[in-house]
Chain A
């Protein structure tokens, strides 16, 4: 057994994970004067070399689908996650029938390198859902507590949008939005007639220069990572200022195994595997911030067992790993003949949608709780593998006829994606699999996942609304879904929307929650969790902006407590 190597230095804080939450913690804590060791399980990122901005499909021999075409199901070659739903040597398991899909991104910046940049605030009601409908739990903090931090995050990272005064989608600090695309004008017109709210989207992409970062150049490829840093990523926007303080030590290839605890029941550091040398190393720190992603942080707590904490660290409530949710996702698409008349033109725009539909049925009774928003896109996008699958399968044939049909249908389709709120249920959680370890010897997670009737009814509503919008716009709705089977109403597998949160939720009562309102563990005062794990609800707003606002607020609290000598 090789010797465990201990760091000679004791850091003020050890942060595990360099994504949205960990990057924010590193920035705020180092700027506040603390020394921080930042552990990242993946390699560093070099945007100029690694990001495939402006790469044509034919510049890659596999045209974007990877060796043997296998990358097609695992996010493709163009995007920049360095990971996806499967990572060699780092498995997870699912209970029978669960089939949860766990997305991991092993790279400095984590998922923020490729994410959709959708930056939506939670609404005041999202913090008090239990009070309204009796389901789930209320947050221990309110919208008013978090609003100043939403302001700070938006001002710092840059988010475009418009003031709309829609109660389900609070306004923020916005840069001007880009002009709508042809596809968006068509959908907007149909939505107006259906009284569906359709407004400029809110994306963390710069339409004006912010803090010396260049504005967007409208290549439409944000998911590949942006070489000019014109959209937000932790690796380009949070880590560099933390580095500049001289207080940050970034350790890559560091797979955290366990949080170490002293005799007084406080965290004293972190044990990790150095992937390059395959040795175990230890970092000493006065406080530990887990920001490894919701499920990875829960895994760390559950794997950090000791005589004092037999059920896992900071888990006297038994809720670590519980209350797991992902967004409800159901998709559909339509063909719009009027788009055939559009002349060839540059349709790229920013990465992602310029307009979207926030939840609009908040003022009426629906047959499911909570709500969803609709994202949409299509038109004259850069061609890629799979673009003509439907044409091939539907029209069949071959020869000049096929070629001419492809010219006719290119750019005439629009896809719709409903993204809604799942209510936590007792059948959905993660735990340690008692039989299996990963290649680093760390026990892996086992997932339990089940959609309830609430989510299925929501997916049904999404499908009905997609059809209504497409038909109102004069298009033909193409998606057919089944009522039964594995994917009722087209609902996606749990984890596929990549909004998994809630596995170490905050709460006022230490008996039913892991953290307090400052993301601080009830049981161990020098442990904080600053990723998606603290989220009490998972409303139809993508979680990243809220993760950053919570992390900023928690980091300020941590700084304050450190000054008072309370850690």
Chain B
């Protein structure tokens, strides 16, 4: 297999084709994204212990969000979980910029606390681990809402959060490594399809 470790820098140096001369683009999203990236990093560095300061959620809500992300994709012996992968930060950032997310997630967290208070007389984070598990088992499946319509808002909230947590996890370095994706690199020849393995 003719692979070659060419770095991004090597490629930039060896550019044969000149780009059109002219000023730097100002509208392309990369600029905005890199700017935000710097801002996030700075804020992280500035806050005590390098801890992320949530942009949208209150400290308490962010703690709930983090707990839920951890339940949705926990760490195991192969890789870290959604929290280590930065999913809560990603979700908070998008939510701070999107009113629909604010309703769905902010409202959803309120719903969850009210539900737990009605059921156990305690907010979600104060519930015992087995009580939290009981709640998650209820709102993690659509069929439960069919049997008990009072669950439907909770099921919709959890489905949305599950999707965002997967997005955050599987676009992180930890998540991409967990899937054993190989690529995003420079090859001299494309090797084609290897023979299958019997697992």
> Interface on A for B, CB 8 Å cutoff?
42-50, 52-54, 56-71, 77, 80, 82, 107-108, 178-182, 184-185, 212-214, 217-221, 227-229, 235-237, 239-240, 243, 250, 252, 338, 340-350, 380-389, 391-393, 396-400, 402-403, 406-407, 410-411
Contact = CB atoms under 8 A, between A and B. Distances in A.
Select the residue from A49, A346, A403 with max chain B CB neighbours within 10 A.
Answer: A403
B76 A403 contact: yes
B67 interface: no
B129 interface: no
Contacts of A185: 193
B186 A219 contact: yes
Given A49-B24, A179-B192, A227-B12, A58 B173 contact: yes
Given A49-B24, A50-B28, A218-B187, A406 B166 contact: yes
A403 B73 contact: yes
5 contacts: A46-B24, A77-B33, A346-B187, A406-B170, A407-B179
A62 B22 contact: no
B190 A218 contact: yes
Interface stretch (B86-94, B108-116, B119-127): B86-94
If over half of A's interface residues share one DSSP class (helix, strand or loop), that class is named, otherwise mixed; here it is loop
A62 B182 contact: no
A539 B107 CA distance: 50
Contacts of A250: 20, 22
Given A44-B22, A63-B168, A240-B20, A398 B72 contact: yes
B147 interface: no
Interface in B181-197: 181-194, 196-197
Given A62-B93, A181-B192, A388-B170, A348 B184 contact: yes
Given A49-B24, A179-B190, A343 B71 contact: no
Nearest to B37: A61
A157 B18 CA distance: 16
A60 B72 contact: no
A235 B23 CA distance: 15
B171 A385 contact: yes
B193 A180 contact: yes
Contact of A392 (B159, B171, B181, B186): B159
Given A65-B94, A341-B199, A386-B167, A47 B182 contact: no
Interface in B25-52: 25-30, 32-34, 36-37, 40
Select the residue from B33, B72, B76 with max chain A CB neighbours within 10 A.
Answer: B33
Given A228-B17, A382-B184, A388-B166, 11 more contacts: A48-B12, A50-B28, A56-B184, A82-B27, A180-B192, A214-B14, A341-B199, A343-B196, A345-B182, A348-B183, A398-B73
B173 to A, nearest CB: 5
A473 B86 CA distance: 39
Contacts of B37: 59-61
Nearest to B163: A392
A385 B167 contact: yes
Contact of B187 (A67, A69, A217, A396): A217
B20 to A, nearest CB: 5
A105 B167 CA distance: 27
A64 B171 contact: yes
If over half of B's interface residues share one DSSP class (helix, strand or loop), that class is named, otherwise mixed; here it is loop
Contacts of B101: 68-69
B25 A228 contact: no
Nearest to B26: A43
A217 B179 contact: no
Contacts of B194: 182, 342-343, 345
Contacts of B11: 53, 217, 227-228
A181 B98 CA distance: 39
B64 interface: no
Contacts of B190: 178-179, 218, 346, 348-350
B172 interface: yes
Contacts of B72: 398-399, 402
A392 B166 contact: yes
B176 interface: yes
A217 B27 contact: no
Closest 8 CB pairs of A and B: A179-B192, A44-B22, A68-B97, A68-B98, A57-B171, A344-B180, A182-B193, A229-B17
B18 A240 contact: yes
Given A341-B198, A346-B187, A82 B28 contact: yes
A61 B182 contact: no
Contacts of A212: 16-17
A493 to B, nearest CB: 22
A66 B36 CA distance: 11
B30 A50 contact: yes
B29 to A, nearest CB: 5
Given A56-B184, A403-B74, A179 B191 contact: yes
A160 B25 CA distance: 32
Interface in B64-86: 71-74, 76, 86
Contacts of B192: 179-181
Nearest to A66: B29
Contacts of B181: 344, 380-383, 410
Contacts of A342: 193-194, 196-197
B170 to A, nearest CB: 5
Nearest to B18: A240
Contacts of A77: 29-30, 33
Select the residue from B23, B86, B94 with max chain A CB neighbours within 10 A.
Answer: B94
A382 B14 CA distance: 26
A47 B19 contact: yes
Interface string B140-176: 1110000000000000001100110011101111011
Contacts of B36: 61-62, 67
B178 interface: yes
A346 B25 contact: no
Contact of B40 (A46, A61, A346): A61
Nearest to A59: B37
Contacts of A50: 25, 28, 30
Contacts of B73: 398-399, 402-403
B60 interface: no
A5 B17 CA distance: 34
Nearest to A396: B141
